[in-house]
Amino acid sequence: MMNDSLSQQIACHDHLRVVEPHSSDSRALISLCGVSRFYDGGTITALKNVDLEIEAGDCVAIVGASGSGKSSLANMLCGIDLPSAGTVLWEGRPQLTRQDWTNLRRLSIGIVFQEFNLIPTLTALENVELALFGRGLSARRRRSRAATVLEDVGLQHRTNNVVTKLSGGERQRVAIARAIVNEPKLLIGDEPTGNLDSKNAANVAHLMFGLCADKRMTLVLVTHDEKLAASCHRRVRIRDGVIVEDTSKAVPSPPIQWQAAE
């Protein structure tokens, strides 16, 4: 008899084929299959039957107004929260438990939040080093790896500063360094530029795009900044918990009407 997780996986793939007939057989890095998220005993619907496939190496913006469900969607992509209904597949395999997601986040998913979420009493270096614990690295290797990544984000001169002494733009760079120090396959930013002035926001966005291209990471960027979203290869628009636009599924333009030569 087929085990539950395998049958669910196949059912989900069949479902995806129905909704996305043009999808290739190559497995997406991450897929949401009929994902809904209800809050407050079902009185609030943050996501409604969302199907979404994200290919490895893509750069995807999730856009929408405040309250449209962007963070709920991002939380499903990294397992910070689990769906009320539906399934999330990572490289074709269902991730069902909190432990599945904890393992993935430890090694394969980096997350950057609007509020930086750094440990205020630690230095930039120590904040980044923390993400390397439990990987069997010596303290020296951890320190040198964290220092290298802080250099990648342009903070080599700030490594030993306690993060409360850093500017907003610098703190977000530390958060990005922490998110990428394990070389994750997927980097998710939930409004990572939302607390920054326009110059720092542009720098942080530029940094994320550059790092993803250099390190071949998949980037999912949640933003309500249309200009920033326009820099992404694919844009997914969400409204009231439903995907209302996806540039990867653009309707082809009608055939060109050739005018007869005069």
The nearer residue to ligand ADP, 81 or 129, going by C-beta atoms, is: 81
Which of the choices Mg ion, ligand ADP, none does residue 69 contact, using the CB cut-off of 5 to 8 A by kind?
ligand ADP
The nearer residue to Mg ion, 114 or 127, going by C-beta atoms, is: 114
Cα R_g (the chain), whole angstroms: 20
x/- map, 65-84, Mg ion, by CB under 5 A? -----xx-------------
Instruction: Provide the angle, in degrees to the nearest 10, between the axes of the packed helices 168-180 and 139-152.
Output: 130
Shortest Cβ 68–Mg ion spacing (Å): 9
The nearer residue to Mg ion, 71 or 87, going by C-beta atoms, is: 71
The nearer residue to ligand ADP, 153 or 221, going by C-beta atoms, is: 221
Stretch touching ligand ADP by CB under 6 A, among 3-11, 12-20, 37-45, 156-164:
37-45
The per-residue DSSP string of 99-134 comes to HHHHHHHHHTEEEEETT----TTSBHHHHHHHTTTT
x/- map, 54-93, ligand ADP, by CB under 6 A? ----------x-xxxxxxx---------------------
Residue nearest Mg ion (C-beta atom): 71
Which of the choices Mg ion, ligand ADP, none does residue 173 contact, using the CB cut-off of 5 to 8 A by kind?
none
* Inter-residue contact 72 to 243 (CB < 8 Å): no
For ligand ADP, which residue of 39, 133, 160, 164 counts as binding (CB under 6 A)? 39
| Close Cβ partners of 94 (under 8 Å, ≥ 6 residues apart) | 5, 8, 9, 12, 87, 88
Cα of 223 vs its chain's centroid, Å: 11
* Inter-residue contact 114 to 195 (CB < 8 Å): yes
Tokens at 99, concatenated: 């432990």
Give the number of residues in contact with ligand ADP, rule: CB under 6 A: 12
The nearer residue to ligand ADP, 24 or 43, going by C-beta atoms, is: 43
CA atoms within 13 A on the CB side of 193: 22
Q: What is the dihedral of CA 78, 236, 172, 201, to 10 degrees?
A: 180
Query: Would you count residue 24 as binding ligand ADP (CB under 6 A)?
Result: no
Residues that bind Mg ion (CB under 5 A): 70-71
Q: Contact positions toward ligand ADP, by CB under 6 A? A: 39-40, 44, 46, 64, 66-72
